[in-house]
Structure 1
């Protein structure tokens, strides 16, 4: 049982939550391993895009392994260690695209993880829920915030307040996932997205993601100005020159991230 990390193709990393006997729920050790995997995605220039999934055909992740957390003593000082074992859904800034391949249950912390990804592929039997209110707590790590931001108000409130599940067809209908595909097509579909992204200029891809995510905080005028500034920087890059040359020569561009 572990968090597995591998480079499956040039530019493409695969992170796998490997705890199928617990529906890929995570205890402190697995959360630590996941944090390390995210930091590698952020820091390793060889990674242009990452895919995250769970082992087996039952669950993407059921979130936190509650039994392992019950009674666990946490020192009060940890409350202010806000960067310790930071996660994608808890605020770690990763501007490389992340694709979720949802192979089953996507519950609680698994759902908040999903909400922090960029492109999402699911199998027909996948189910989605933020059922924390049924356990006397709330959906943390962005659960209340991203659910409201990414779904229509009434649909998000229904999920947050009832704790009821959403099936894959509804998730696709409401835009929670991009596509629902047969189980045997899940990873190949996710890889298809990853390959197309990895072929693009990595600096431009990261800039586009960051601006898109920061945009609501900046407002339209601020967002437009930031676009101008970032494009000014990118136009001086080797990748920008390569992109223009490849277009004129009618050939695929060879981007290096410089």
Structure 2
């Protein structure tokens, strides 16, 4: 299978799309495999953080494999199969942080994948585009929904309506990615972020991600009340909270277990 998957001793899962001959584009078989692996990230208690990247230095992910996917007829009843082969960018809820290491072209479905991640590192030569309008379709899997929430209206509409690409420097300036680094530093930088996240209390990290994402659909008052309830839950039931307090008082690194 052309999606590599590893989990290291720190609890960091790395998913690598390995189809360099197809610019790391995805056909139906590889979408199904990616769905299976995202579910593994969600459900495996040993995993604390994930990194998604592509093989080589030319492409992170070019989205759907146009040659094999675009033009396929979709059965009408599948329109209501909303939980079939769930993907991160299709709405699968993964409260563990996901980091994107963008190593080249980030196009179409690759962009919608990027938009569903939490922290984004790009190599200097990375390129970003949602060019679906040039193919007669719209930017699906959240393309029209997330982009407009993550950058300004004018910039989102520029990308969505023209289909034109932007470079890594522009993407960083627009707030689409966290930082731009040389290609040789890409994975090291992503892994550094992942290690810092994985070293924190797992339940608190997941609660923080969920609260932050749900805040977009809640009033400030509702969000603050939910935040208060989550903190009370952790303080009263989580052994990691007790460990964090003990480590602070004893001036030592904490040993969190995710309990």
Distance 2:70 2:188 in 1: 38
Corresponding residue for residue 253 of structure 1: 254
- TM-score when scaled to structure 2? 0.98
Shift in Å, 1:2: 1.2
Corresponding residue for residue 84 of structure 1: 84
Corresponding residue for residue 177 of structure 2: 177
Shift in Å, 1:161: 0.6
Corresponding residue for residue 130 of structure 1: 130
Distance 1:69 1:191 in 2: 32
Corresponding residue for residue 242 of structure 1: 243
Q: Deviations over 1:221-246 (max 9, x none)?
A: 10000001100110021000000000
Distance 1:104 1:96 in 2: 25
Bigger drift between 203-212 and 6-15 goes to 6-15
Alignment of 1:115-154 (within 5 A): 115-154=115-154
Corresponding residue for residue 192 of structure 2: 192
Distance 1:24 1:234 in 2: 41
Secondary structure, counterpart of 1:164 in structure 2: coil
Corresponding residue for residue 100 of structure 1: 100
Alignment of 1:33-112 (within 5 A): 33-112=33-112
Aligned Cα root-mean-square deviation (Å): 0.9
Q: Deviations over 1:59-101 (max 9, x none)?
A: 0000000110244343222111111110001100000000000
Bigger drift between 39-48 and 71-80 goes to 71-80
Distance 1:63 1:180 in 2: 21
Alignment of 1:181-220 (within 5 A): 181-220=181-220
Q: Deviations over 1:111-154 (max 9, x none)?
A: 00000000000011100000101111110100011110000111
- TM-score when scaled to structure 1? 0.98
Figure out how many residues of one structure are paired with residues of the other and give that number: 258
Q: Which runs of 5+ in 2 are unaligned?
A: none
2:224 is equivalent to residue 224 of structure 1: yes
Bigger drift between 4-13 and 198-207 goes to 4-13
Q: Deviations over 1:161-191 (max 9, x none)?
A: 1111010000111111111001110000000
Distance 2:172 2:69 in 1: 33
Bigger drift between 196-205 and 66-75 goes to 66-75
Bigger drift between 127-136 and 63-72 goes to 63-72
Cα 1:225/1:257, change in 2 over 3 Å: same
Distance 2:75 2:131 in 1: 27
Secondary structure, counterpart of 2:8 in structure 1: strand
Q: Deviations over 1:34-55 (max 9, x none)?
A: 1011000000000000000001
Corresponding residue for residue 113 of structure 2: 113
Secondary structure, counterpart of 1:89 in structure 2: helix
Distance 2:200 2:11 in 1: 11
